[in-house]
Amino acid sequence: MSDSPGFPDSAARDRDEAESASAFAHPPVAPDATAAYGDHPDQVVDFYAPRDGRTAAPLVVLLHGGAWRAPYDRAHVSPLADFLARRGFAVANVEYRRGGDDIPQQRGGEGQHAPGADPVAGRWPETFDDVAAALDAMPVLAARALPGADVRRIVVTGHSAGGHLALWAAARHVLPEGSPWRLPAPPPLRGVVALAPIADFAAAVRLGVCGGAVTQLLGGEAGFADRAAHADPGALLPTGIATAIVQGVDDIVVPQAVSEAYVDAAAQAGETVGLTLLGGIGHFPLIDPAADACAVVAEEITQLAW
């Protein structure tokens, strides 16, 4: 998960390792309820009730990162889900199908990699199938699992690869005609808060983000351009949905340039996207309840939700 584009210096690598260790040191937090949105074991959502017991709490839909790779599941952001629940939100922590060593046949040779290398990133089209299905089912699932959640006030957030999926989920109404995930109207969201998202595929590929994960997500170089038209948030603008990005200036996993490329693309499409840059931090403090950056994330969500 800490593949770094370019050649960061040793101090940057040391900081990234320390921040990663801190973020992953928290034990998983058990949910208050779990519901399935499909038959596959990964098609589940963990729900966290607002810890202050409030009713009509805004619902935060949380999409985890991990370069769309199977070893990283929703458990690693469960402390963030709990942190947000303690801030008075209802939270839905979504699992979805990721890539792994069990699916090289999907990649037409592109998925083959040396033993010990990272698993293949993503499943095409299953990763997108799952996020679309989870978001479509969310109002009903949340109403059953968390009676205190206000499903009329949904904010989608996600970190890294999950930030990509959050931006994509808010853009389904501008997908190309004929896309299986296209919505006839904008999804009923208050907004999106994307945390160090893989938001612009051209920039991410150029920088080699996460060891070529973007190319793998779309099934390899063959057909990349056609599939990117259905999957790249930077090409799905404007959305008309309030969008904010939180980005660490010292991020060597998904660099600031990727978020800036998305913000620039939005501006060219006539849309303003908020960009909050946090100095002195990298990729992982955004999901680390022990880091000050998490409070910034909660505040960005609050501004959209309330």
Measure the CA–CA gap between 214 and 221, rounded to whole angstroms. Answer: 10
* Other beta carbons within 10 Å of 177: 5
- Cβ(19)–Cβ(282) below 8 Å: yes
105-118: per-residue pLDDT in tens? Answer: 333 223 333 444 67
The DSSP string of 206-254 is HHTGGGTHHHHHTTSSTTHHHHHHHH-GGGS----S-EEEEEETT-SSS
pLDDT of residue 136: 98
Measure the CA–CA gap between 60 and 113, rounded to whole angstroms. Answer: 36
pLDDT of residue 112: 34
Q: CA-based Rg of the chain, rounded to a whole angstrom? A: 18
Length of the chain: 306
pLDDT of residue 170: 98
pLDDT of residue 117: 62
* Average pLDDT of the residues in 246-264: 98
**Percent of the chain scored above 90 by pLDDT?**
88
Token reading at 16: 């990234």
**Percent of the chain scored above 70 by pLDDT?**
92
pLDDT at 235 over 90: yes
* Average pLDDT of the residues in 278-301: 98
Per DSSP, the three-state class of 178 is: coil
Per DSSP, the three-state class of 203 is: helix
pLDDT band (50, 70, 90) for residue 6:
low
> Which one-letter amino acid corresponds to residue 102?
D
Residue 9's Cβ-side half-sphere holds a number of Cα atoms within 13 Å equal to 2
186-231: per-residue pLDDT in tens? Answer: 999 999 999 999 999 999 999 999 999 999 999 999 989 999 999 9
pLDDT at 83 over 70: yes
Those residues whose C-beta lies under 8 Å from the C-beta of residue 162, and which sit 6 or more positions away, are 62, 63, 64, 65, 66, 77, 195, 197
Measure the CA–CA gap between 84 and 82, rounded to whole angstroms. Answer: 5
22-78: per-residue pLDDT in tens? Answer: 999 999 999 999 999 999 999 999 999 999 888 899 999 999 999 999 999 999 999
* Average pLDDT of the residues in 117-139: 94
Environment class of residue 65 by beta-carbon count within 10 Å: exposed (0-12), middle (13-18) or buried (19+)?
buried
* Average pLDDT of the residues in 160-188: 98
DSSP 99: B
pLDDT at 3 over 90: no
pLDDT at 174 over 60: yes
pLDDT of residue 34: 98
pLDDT of residue 173: 98
pLDDT of residue 102: 54
Average pLDDT, the chain: 92
